[in-house]
Structure 1
Amino acid sequence: MTKPTPAEAIEITRFHLAEGLTISDFIRANADVDPWLSRQPGFVSRRIAQDADGEVIDMLVWESAAQGRAAAHRLMSELADSPVHDAIDQGTVSWTVAPVFHRLDAETAQAG
């Protein structure tokens, strides 16, 4: 059986904030990141959430996994001085980019 061809990819980064910072502080620290992301090839969307134990989940959707990985590497060099890096407890970071093989949108589900 062949695998379906992925139509997009998700990037998930999980981490805790640097000591003493709040999710509002983290969002403010992204003031230079969000406009930068919007200019990247293949960028679709971004969501930032925080679970009950304080872990931040930063989810990006890309047109392809290759575009997501390339942007992540560019971010580390092009935005090396961004305050966002100091807002993250770097020892807690978990990061992955993976192709999406199944997607269900509300509009599609309701139409079916």
Structure 2
Amino acid sequence: MYNIRAKAMAIVAVMSLISCATDKASAPGHYEIVTFQLVAGTQPEAFISVNKEVENFLSAQPGFLNRSIGKVNDSVWIDVLSWRLKSDFEKAFEKSASDEAIIEMSKMINEATYNFFSFEPSLSH
């Protein structure tokens, strides 16, 4: 049940982001979607607070366009990131290993619950 619902929410989130891209030149060329659960005992407020710092890292990365993070249900979170190019994401991902906010955020996520989706849109309007 969790995987089907999380995947459906990921699809809806991406469709919403794609439909909002009105300027074709600024339309994302790559998406990263992650669903996950927090480590038991992690307070959602603390997780959101750390993610405000993660936003500082992301917004400084070349090619980063947008991020939406939220809860699918009481236990599952979704993080949707849009990038100009896949190579922009890959470069930022390499840099993220040394970013303190991302390291702190990662400690709050139960690694066994990660589901990654990565794609370039085949259709957008």
TM-score, normalising length: structure 1: 0.75
Q: Which residue of 1 aligns with 2:69?
A: 48
Conservation of the 8 A alpha-carbon contact between 2:96 and 2:102: no
Q: Which residue of 1 aligns with 2:116?
A: 95
Unaligned 5+ runs, structure 2: 1-26
RMSD of aligned alpha carbons: 2.2
Q: Which residue of 1 aligns with 2:89?
A: 68
- Which of the residues 34, 37, 48 maps onto 2:58? 37
Which moves more between the two structures, 92-101 or 78-87?
A: 78-87
Structure with larger RCO (C-alpha < 8 A, sep 6+): 1
C-alpha distance in 2 between matches for 1:73 and 1:25: 25
Displacement of 1:49 in angstroms is: 1.7
Displacement of 1:88 in angstroms is: 0.6
Q: Deviations over 1:66-98 (max 9, x none)?
A: 211221222123347732111111121122321
Percent same amino acid at aligned positions? 27
**Residue identity in the other structure for 2:110:** D
Unaligned 5+ runs, structure 1: 1-5, 105-112
Which structure 1 residue ranges, 4+ long, deviate > 6 Å from structure 2? none
Give the direction of change, closer, same or farther, for the CA distance of 1:74–1:97 in structure 2 (3 Å limit).
farther
C-alpha distance in 2 between matches for 1:24 and 1:97: 27
Is 2:44 the counterpart of 1:23?
Answer: yes
TM-score, normalising length: structure 2: 0.68
Give the direction of change, closer, same or farther, for the CA distance of 1:31–1:38 in structure 2 (3 Å limit).
same
For these two proteins, the number of residue pairs brought into alignment is 99
- Structure with bigger gyration radius: 1
Which of the two has greater helix per residue?
2
